[in-house]
Structure 1
Amino acid sequence: MNLGRLRGLIWKESVQILRDPSALAIAFVLPLFLLLLFGYGVSLNAEHVPIGVVAEHPNPQTETFVGTLRHSRYFDVHELPSLAAAGAAMAQHEIRGFVWMRSDFARQTLGPGPGTIGVALNGVDANTARLVQGYLTQSWQIWLAQQQQEQGAAPALPVAAQTRIWFNPALRSRDYLVPGLIAVIMTLIGALLTALVVAREWERGTMEALMASPVTMAEILVGKLLPYFVLGMGGMALSVGLAVTLFAVPLRGSLLVLAGASALFLLVALGMGLLISSLARNQFVAGQISIVVTFLPAFILSGFIFDIRSMPTVIQGITHILPARYFVSILQTVFLAGDVWAVILPDAGALAMMAVFFLGVTLLRSRKRLD
């Protein structure tokens, strides 16, 4: 490998990047857009859910329970006169469910036996229905504990559970989504940008000029790899900075560990992009292949939004060949838990092997031929 020719190729690629608005947009504008879109527009929490309340015989007990629901950030309470009105409101999507307190609600709650309420939920969105059910159960238990304390009665259960949430005590879905989104952004920057730019060179004929020059394929690949690696790390730095400052996502791990894992994943993504460009020399085809092979799996099967352990066994096996799975795991660990080496080292090892594989296959697949 001739260092003089390599410096010339790196300079030529760097100038081409600076003159290409689309490359800079993918590296810096696209991360900003996606972070704003997902950070503010996507939430896995259910808050301010419209819920109906039907009290057949209003009394102080029903009022205090309704007050417990009103003071919760999870509910917007709508008091309704009857079960028929509540059913009609839920059918018209005015409320997501309703709580029914029977006429003997006060006697049940003040008596020796357990009090009961009726709850009906719209189960079309099963995930939201489960969340609302959990929130209602929690509100009910809090109200019962308050009533027992006011009456001076012994608690119904001899043991009171105290729950502690680790790593994300505020249960903010943004703290979970934003680190995973960085993996999707890095996939787009690495694979899509590299595949499109190299395919564009084939279309314009500049790659043929390189083929006719004395440079080797290894020099061509390294000359294209290094500038886009620097560009990708710049996009990574922008994404991490926005995550910490704009979205207040905690970064409990080491920046050095984060940078090292990001470099490994970026090498994998660049290797995939170069391999796609060597197979598809058309920008449209290369873009479609990049989206199907890299972006969609990173979005759906990496654990970014959907829990891998809840997927079918076959799909769980497929996720082991996806680089984004390991990078999402590293990002969520470094951001939310810290430098947990039992998680980071195996995932980083998998990324290193994938980087060697994709870059090696790209080098073996690339030849100084036009066919």
Structure 2
Amino acid sequence: MSDDRTESAFLTRLTALVRKETRQMLRDRSNLMVGLLLPVALILLFGFGLSFDVKNAPVALVMQDRSAGAREIVSGLRGSAYLDPIDVETMEQASRMLREGKVDAIVQIPNDFASRQVKGGAEIQLILNGVDSTTAQTLEAYIQGAVGVAVARQADRGGATASGGSVTLMTRTWFNEEGNSRWYLVPGLVVLIMTLVGAFLSSLLIAREWERGTLEALFVTPVRPLELVLAKLAPYIVIGLIDLTMCLLAAVFLFDVPIRGSMLAIILVSFLYLLVSLLVGLLISGVTRNQFAASQVALLTSFMPALMLSGFVFDLRNIPVAVQVVAQILPATHFMGVIKTLFLAGTDWGMVASNSLILMGYIAILTILTRRTLRKRLD
């Protein structure tokens, strides 16, 4: 009987405690957000946003020979579901498109293709964008397969053995000749570190002062919201620039990654993106006014998207259109593209200017929104 009473009392206390904790959890919206929204975000990001497939890869096609044999090769490329050939008049234009990232490869059919094919020694030049070594290797295999199918079709029509050996693919890799994955990943780390230092750390600033009650003391002083924003940003700008310096030194001396673009351009776009990240963090902290909630929102809205949807891990052209639209809204996507180009391909001032204007637009919008969250009022 005593045991029954003890068990009943235990269940009564446990039930009461479970009810109390459940009510407390339902009142704590930040915990609910982490527990329910974070899994949903991860499911959507990994399910729809993560793809290592190569589909409809843009390939610049330079046809200097328009014979029947050359057109047969082109039809093989156009018939592949993995390739999207784009007709280009000159190699100079194709090279510019490859450097700007508008195409992933160049296929050049030389003007002596037909005569060499008759002799059994025709060659086609393939130039790959080696910034992403995995994509380059996959694309090379697809193009070799498409050319082989086209040559086999020619041989069948001519009654010859379908071997595909009469056409040789001469492959060169630009921007990452060694196919070193570090050359692809290290520039992207600059984006992630700037995001971490900017959005994640600064998201705790205003929230911490709201929790401690120190922000109210500033409301009775002549300090203006814009002045408060600038004062909050200043120390973290210094930290961000120090981190950028460490990234550049590590890239060159630790990982042997070349920096082929202008150092001035790298510093300029990195500084602009650092400001964007810091303002995002300040905006989050001003809206949430809670350190835990601010850190979680910063993780979900800045660091995770920068990791998954900026082009750091895989080519954004291989994901669904809806996810591509979301990716283009992210500041990290624009910074990722230009920083990789500056590291490995060289300086494209047009690309630097366009992405810098986009980042400055984000700075203007975020500054206005952040000032509104820091108005002198008490809720």
| Shorter-chain TM band | 0.5 to 0.7
Partner of 1:297: 305
Corresponding residue number in structure 2 for 1:220: 228
Q: Does structure 1 residue 172 correspond to structure 2 residue 164?
A: no
Paired residue for 1:312? 320
C-alpha deviation, 1:351, in angstroms: 1.0
1:161 Cα shift?
1.8
What percentage of residue pairs aligned between the two structures are identical? 44
Any conservation in 2 of the 1:302–1:324 contact (CA below 8 Å)?
Answer: yes
Of residues 288, 293, 297 in structure 2, which corresponds to 1:285? Answer: 293
**Residues 229-251 of structure 1 deviation map (CA, whole Å, 9 limit, x = unaligned):** 12111111111211111111110
Q: CA deviation at 1:198?
A: 2.2
The amino acid that maps onto 1:219 is: E
Instruction: Return 202-211 or 245-254, whichever deviates more.
Output: 202-211
Match of 1:147 in 2: none
- Aligned residue among 253, 273, 287 for 1:265: 273
Q: Would you say how many aligned residue pairs link Structure 1 and Structure 2?
A: 228
Trace 1:175-254 onto structure 2 (pairs within 5 A). Answer: 175-254=183-262
Report the secondary structure of 1:161's partner residue: strand
- Cα-Cα RMSD: 2.5
Q: In structure 2, how many angstroms separate the alpha carbons of the residues matched to 1:279 and 1:350?
A: 24
Residue deviations 1:262-296 (CA, integer Å, cap 9, x gap): 11101111111111011011110000000000001
Name the aligned partner's letter for residue 350 of structure 2.
A
C-alpha separation between the residues in 2 aligned to 1:202 and 1:264?
Answer: 28
The Cα shift of 1:212 comes to 2.4
Aligned equivalents of 2:316 and 2:347: distance in 1? 22
Please list the CA deviations of residues 271-325 of structure 1 after superposition, one character each: whole Å capped at 9, or x if unmatched.
Answer: 1111101101111000000000000110000000021000101111111110000
CA distance in structure 2 between the aligned counterparts of 1:156 and 1:351, rounded to whole angstroms: 49
Q: Distance in 2 between matches of 1:276 and 1:163?
A: 49
After TM superposition, the structure 1 stretch with the greater mean CA deviation from structure 2, 224-233 or 275-284, is: 224-233
Question: Is the 2:205–2:282 contact (alpha carbons within 8 Å) kept by the matching residues of 1?
Answer: no
Q: What TM-score results when the alignment is normalised by the length of structure 2?
A: 0.57
Offset of 1:173 from its aligned partner?
Answer: 1.1
Q: Take 2:206 and 2:372, find their aligned partners in 1: how far apart are those partners? A: 17
- What is the one-letter code of the residue matched to 1:200? R
**Deviation string for 1:202-258 (max 9, x for gaps)?**
212221222222211121111111221121111111112111111111101111111
Cα deviation 1:109-132 (Å, max 9, x = unaligned): xxxxxxxxxxxxxxxxxx99x96x
Aligned pairs for 1:65-214 (under 5 A) are 157-214=165-222
Which letter maps to 2:291?
Q
Are the counterparts in 2 of residues 265 and 351 from structure 1 also a CA contact under 8 Å? Answer: yes
Q: 1:325 aligns with which of 315, 319, 333?
A: 333
| Aligned residue number for residue 98 of structure 1 | none
C-alpha distance in 1 between matches for 2:228 and 2:249 = 32
Contact residue 268 and residue 359 of structure 1 kept, 8 A: no
| Offset, 1:156 | 6.3
Question: Contact between 2:206 and 2:282, CA under 8 Å: does it hold in 1?
Answer: yes
Q: Is the 8 A contact 1:298 1:325 kept in 2?
A: yes
Q: Which runs of 5+ in 1 are unaligned?
A: 1-43, 45-126, 142-154
TM-score, normalisation: structure 1: 0.58
CA contact (8 A) 1:191 1:294 kept: yes
Q: Distance in 1 between matches of 2:204 and 2:372?
A: 20
